[in-house]
Every structure is written in structure tokens, then in C-alpha cells.
């Protein structure tokens, strides 16, 4: 049994397979440099009854930024087409263990689902446990997803400017430390290197070990080392809004107040010429 109810072990989930109102969601997504095809991997093998959530498709059209949160209507249509209801127990997983699943966990929570969990260790842990898989595409029975949108969960550009100017709210940056410092260039053309004034570096990769969320004690130590107080308000950011959600998930697992997520993240902030950028350590 996992240390937080927001995680479910492969063995626990396997015992629940086939249960009514259980939705299993493959939220795998990869960076281009990782050289993996999430859709092809899903077709080759996935958890029994799982559906594939395409993070590149369930977005706001013509937003001009990657992974921009869709409107409630777009999200409801996409979730309903996958056979998911807001009242379901929703279990999200990804192909790396704990990489892209937190973003979809956060999206479902933001749009009103109340019981959303992440598979501890993701698909690698499921396979390592010798549990059954399916192949091919999913053909879910459509459902109605009743949206209750939490607008407070999301931070837009203008509010982010005010947060940076005020220097009163903690900003947690989930990108690798080298990108935070500006010593490594950003992977997207035209995006400056560095970070927002006052931000703290807490790489998403540091929150997990072998694809599993670290212990409560380890997480609290990581936040402390980053100069972040989990009990105080936090806004998260990353490259395009995906891995930032790992910090949101970690704070929720710790039982702290919900963090907010800057949806445009560094792709938006770093690509503008009217947003201040600093380099070096926080």
C-alpha cells in the first residue's frame, strides 16, 4: 500500500480491474529527445481497459503555445469520448513511471474529477509485477463528463507578471537545473535561457526514484533544500506545463494546500521580449 491515497499500487489496481466506474488512463507523453512514440507504445501494450489521453491533442486550439489547457467544453468532450465521468475513480499512468501522468492528473482535478490517482511506478512497475496487458486500440463507450472548472488552479501570463513583480508567492520551476540556471539552452527555438525572478529550482525528476514518488520525508527535504515552504502558496512552472504538475502532485500527496500551475510556463515567458529573465542560481 502506498504512503499516500493519491497513489495506487499495481497490485491494488489489478485487484480492481473490471470494477464499475473505474477509468484507467494512459497519459504517456515524451519529449522529442526521448525518441519514443506514446501512441505506438499504447497500441503495442497497455493496461487492460485503459484509454489513451493525447496531451498534444486535448488543448486549446490556436493558442500558439504547446499544451495550453483547453476550455471546459473541449475537455468535457474529450473525456466523455474516452468514456470517463467526473464521478469515476480515475487512475492515470505513464510509460516512464512518474513523468507525464501528473499533468493529466492535474487536468482531471482542475476540471472537477474528485477521485484521481496515479499508478505508483507507472507502466514499468505494472510490467515488472508480471500483470496482464492488452494491445490494439481502445473503443470506449462514450460518457458524459460533468465539468466543474477550478479557475483558481491555473495562472495566466498577466497574473504571472504580477506574482513575479510582487515577490510574495513562491515559484517552483520543475525544469532541469541547468535550464533553470541558463547554462543549458532551451530546446525550443527562440526561447531565452534562465528563469523568473524569485523562482526556485525543483526539478521534477528529483521527486521520483525508479519511477515512483519519493517518501514524505524525502519530499519535504527536497522542498526545504529548494528553499520552498510547502505550507505556503506555490505556483509551479516548467517548459510547457507538463512536468510542473509533478510538483503539484507532490504537494497534494503531502496534504498541503493545492499549488497553482502557470500554464504557459517557460515557453511563454522565455519567448517574449517584455518578461524579465535572470540566470544563475535562485
Provide the annotated active-site residues: 238
Strand order of the sheet with strand 154-155? 154-155, 260-262, 234-237, 170-173, 199-201
Grid cell listed for 36: 519514443
Query: What is the DSSP track for 212-279?
Result: EEPPHHHHHHHHHHTT--TTS-EEEE-SSSSTHHHHHHHHHHTTPPPPEEESSHHHHHHH-SSS--B-
Backbone angles phi, psi at 213, to 5 degrees: -60, 135
Grid cell listed for 187: 530546446
**HSE (CB half, 13 Å, CA atoms) of 50?**
32
Amino acid at each position: 500500500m502506498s504512503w499516500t491515497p493519491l497513489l495506487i499500487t499495481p497490485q491494488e489496481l489489478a485487484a480492481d480491474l473490471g470494477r464499475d466506474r473505474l477509468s484507467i488512463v494512459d497519459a504517456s507523453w515524451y519529449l522529442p529527445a526521448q525518441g519514443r512514440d506514446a501512441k505506438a507504445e499504447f497500441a503495442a501494450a497497455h493496461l487492460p481497459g485503459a484509454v489513451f489521453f493525447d496531451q498534444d491533442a486535448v488543448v486549446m486550439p490556436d493558442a500558439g503555445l504547446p499544451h495550453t489547457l483547453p476550455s471546459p467544453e473541449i475537455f468535457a468532450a474529450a473525456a466523455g469520448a474516452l468514456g470517463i465521468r467526473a464521478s469515476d475513480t480515475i487512475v492515470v499512468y505513464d510509460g516512464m513511471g512518474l513523468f507525464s501522468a501528473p499533468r493529466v492528473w492535474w487536468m482531471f482535478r482542475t476540471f472537477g474529477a474528485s477521485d484521481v490517482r496515479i499508478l505508483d511506478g507507472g507502466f514499468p512497475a505494472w510490467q515488472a509485477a508480471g500483470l496482464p496487458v492488452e494491445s490494439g486500440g481502445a473503443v470506449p463507450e462514450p460518457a458524459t463528463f460533468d465539468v466543474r472548472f477550478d479557475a483558481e488552479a491555473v495562472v495566466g501570463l498577466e497574473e504571472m507578471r504580477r506574482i513575479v513583480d510582487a515577490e510574495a508567492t513562491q515559484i517552483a520551476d520543475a525544469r532541469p537545473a541547468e535550464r533553470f540556471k541558463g547554462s543549458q539552452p532551451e530546446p525550443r527555438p527562440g526561447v531565452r535561457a534562465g528563469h523568473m525572478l524569485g523562482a526556485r529550482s525543483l526539478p521534477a525528476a528529483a521527486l521520483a526514484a525508479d519511477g515512483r514518488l519519493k517518501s514524505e520525508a524525502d519530499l519535504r527535504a527536497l522542498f526545504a533544500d529548494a528553499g520552498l515552504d510547502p505550507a505556503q502558496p506555490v505556483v509551479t512552472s516548467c517548459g510547457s506545463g507538463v512536468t510542473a504538475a509533478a510538483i503539484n502532485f507532490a504537494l497534494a500527496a503531502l496534504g498541503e494546500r493545492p499549488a497553482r500551475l502557470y500554464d504557459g510556463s517557460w515557453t511563454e515567458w522565455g519567448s517574449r521580449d517584455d518578461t524579465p529573465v535572470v540566470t544563475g542560481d535562485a
